[in-house]
Homo-oligomer: A and B are copies of this chain.
Amino acid sequence: MNYQPQASEAIFFMETVLNASERLAELPLFQEVDAALMMQILEEAGKFISDEIAPLNQTGDSEGAKFSQGQVTMPPGFAAAYQAFWRAGWASLTADTEDGGQGLPALLDGVLYEWLSAANHGWTMAPGLLHGAYECIKHHASDELKTAYLSKIGSGEWLATMCLTEPHAGSDLGSVHTKAHPTTDAQFRINGTKIFISGGEHDLTDNIVHLVLARLPDAPPGPKGLSLFLVPKFYNDGTRSAVYCERIEEKMGIHASPTCVMRFDDALGWMVGEANKGLNAMFIMMNAARLHVALQGVGLLDAAWQKANAYAHERRQMRAPKALETQHPNKQDHQGPDLIIAHPAIRRVLDTQRAWIDTSRVLAYETSLALDIAKHHPDANQREAANRWCALVTPVLKSACTDQGFHGASECLQVFGGHGYIREWGIEQHVRDARIAMIYEGTNEIQALDLLMRKVLVDGGANLVQLCDQLILDIDGTEADGAHAITQLNQLRAITAQAIEVAQQPTGATTLSAIAGDYLRLTHLALMGWAWRRIRAAIEADDPRWTGQDQALKSWVLPEFNMRLTIIQTQFAAL
**Among A34-42, A67-75, A340-348, A356-364, which stretch is in contact with chain B?**
A340-348
A373 to B451, alpha carbons, bound, how many Å? 53
A559: interface (CB < 8 Å): yes
Cβ-closest chain B residue relative to A318: B172
Known: A250-B423, A513-B321, A516-B345. A172 touches B567 (CB 8 A): no
A541: interface (CB < 8 Å): no
A418: B residues at CB distance < 8 A = 165, 170, 195-196, 439-440
A470: interface (CB < 8 Å): no
A514: interface (CB < 8 Å): yes
A483: interface (CB < 8 Å): no
A449: B residues at CB distance < 8 A = 345
A435: B residues at CB distance < 8 A = 410, 413, 421, 428, 431
A512: B residues at CB distance < 8 A = 321
A560: B residues at CB distance < 8 A = 563
Most chain B C-beta atoms within 10 Å of own C-beta, residue among A431, A448, A509, A513: A513
Cβ-closest chain B residue relative to A167: B419
Most chain B C-beta atoms within 10 Å of own C-beta, residue among A62, A252, A410, A516: A252
A168 to B417, alpha carbons, bound, how many Å? 11
User: Do residues A445 and B414 form an inter-chain contact, with CB atoms below 8 A?
Assistant: yes
User: Do residues B432 and A252 form an inter-chain contact, with CB atoms below 8 A?
Assistant: yes
Cβ-closest chain B residue relative to A435: B421
Most chain B C-beta atoms within 10 Å of own C-beta, residue among A345, A410, A420: A345
Range for the number of chain A residues in contact with chain B = 35 or more
A249: B residues at CB distance < 8 A = 422-424
A315 to B245, alpha carbons, bound, how many Å? 25
A195: B residues at CB distance < 8 A = 418
A170 to B415, alpha carbons, bound, how many Å? 12
Cβ-closest chain B residue relative to A571: B555
A443: interface (CB < 8 Å): yes
A317: B residues at CB distance < 8 A = 170-172, 175
A252: B residues at CB distance < 8 A = 421-423, 428, 431-432
What are the interface flags for A140-172 relative to B under an 8 Å C-beta threshold, 1 for contact and 0 otherwise?
000000000000000000000000010010111
A422: B residues at CB distance < 8 A = 249-252, 259
A325 to B571, alpha carbons, bound, how many Å? 18
Report A252 CB to chain B, min CB distance, Å.
Answer: 4
User: Do residues B348 and A514 form an inter-chain contact, with CB atoms below 8 A?
Assistant: yes
User: Do residues B421 and A175 form an inter-chain contact, with CB atoms below 8 A?
Assistant: no
A97: interface (CB < 8 Å): no
A478: interface (CB < 8 Å): no
User: Do residues B322 and A510 form an inter-chain contact, with CB atoms below 8 A?
Assistant: yes
A318 to B442, alpha carbons, bound, how many Å? 13
User: Do residues B406 and A410 form an inter-chain contact, with CB atoms below 8 A?
Assistant: yes
User: Do residues B423 and A443 form an inter-chain contact, with CB atoms below 8 A?
Assistant: no
Give which listed residue, B407, B417, B421, B439, contacts A251 with CB less than 8 A. B421
A418 to B166, alpha carbons, bound, how many Å? 11
Cβ-closest chain B residue relative to A195: B418
Residues of A483-531 contacting chain B, CB below 8 A = 506-507, 509-514, 516-517
A566: B residues at CB distance < 8 A = 559, 562
Report A373 CB to chain B, min CB distance, Å.
Answer: 33
* Sampled A-B contacts (8; CB under 8 Å): A196-B418, A249-B422, A320-B513, A347-B514, A410-B435, A421-B436, A431-B435, A562-B562
Query: 8 closest Cβ contacts across the A-B interface?
Result: A321-B509, A344-B514, A250-B423, A252-B428, A344-B513, A563-B563, A172-B317, A345-B445
Further contacts, 10 of them, CB under 8 A, given A322-B507, A417-B443: A170-B418, A171-B417, A174-B318, A196-B418, A325-B510, A343-B445, A345-B445, A345-B516, A431-B435, A555-B570
